[in-house]
């Protein structure tokens, strides 16, 4: 398995990726969640989108937003209610997403 591609990684390897993601991706996602999706307060990156009360429509919109803005395709298996912010950040890092200035 390729550790750099979460699409082909098993869950153990995906956890490996989420443990090493850079704060830049977490910061981008938490800012996006606070401003666009109105998730209140400080966001713990280890919390799932379910725990953050992000609904399925917002997750679909987030997926489309990431594809449009960062050119990173995110499918339903990679972004679900059980996904954590840290796991999504690891996915963005693994795809080499370039965060806009």
Tokens, residue 54:
């992000």
Q: Is residue 1 part of a domain?
A: no
How far is the C-alpha of 28 from the C-alpha of 18, rounded, in Å?
Answer: 15
Q: What is the number of domains present in the chain? A: 1
Q: Is residue 2 part of a domain?
A: no
How far is the C-alpha of 46 from the C-alpha of 98, rounded, in Å?
Answer: 22
Q: Is residue 100 part of a domain?
A: no
Q: How confident is the model at residue 1 (pLDDT cuts 50, 70, 90)?
A: very low
* Domain hosting residue 40, numbered range: 11-94
pLDDT over 60 (residue 59): yes
pLDDT over 70 (residue 32): yes
pLDDT over 80 (residue 8): no
pTM equals 0.78
- pLDDT at site 62: 97
pLDDT over 70 (residue 34): yes
Q: Is residue 3 part of a domain?
A: no
CATH code for the domain of 66: 1.10.1200.10
């Amino acid at each position: 398995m390729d550790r750099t591609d979460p699409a082909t990684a098993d869950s153990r390897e995906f956890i490996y990726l989420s443990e090493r993601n850079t704060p830049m991706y977490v910061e981008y996602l938490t800012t996006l969640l606070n401003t666009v999706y109105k998730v209140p307060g400080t966001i713990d990156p280890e919390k799932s989108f379910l725990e953050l009360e992000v609904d399925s429509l917002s997750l679909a919109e987030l997926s489309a937003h990431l594809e449009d803005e960062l050119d990173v395709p995110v499918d339903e298996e990679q972004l679900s209610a059980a996904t954590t912010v840290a796991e999504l950040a690891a996915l963005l890092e693994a795809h080499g997403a370039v965060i806009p200035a």
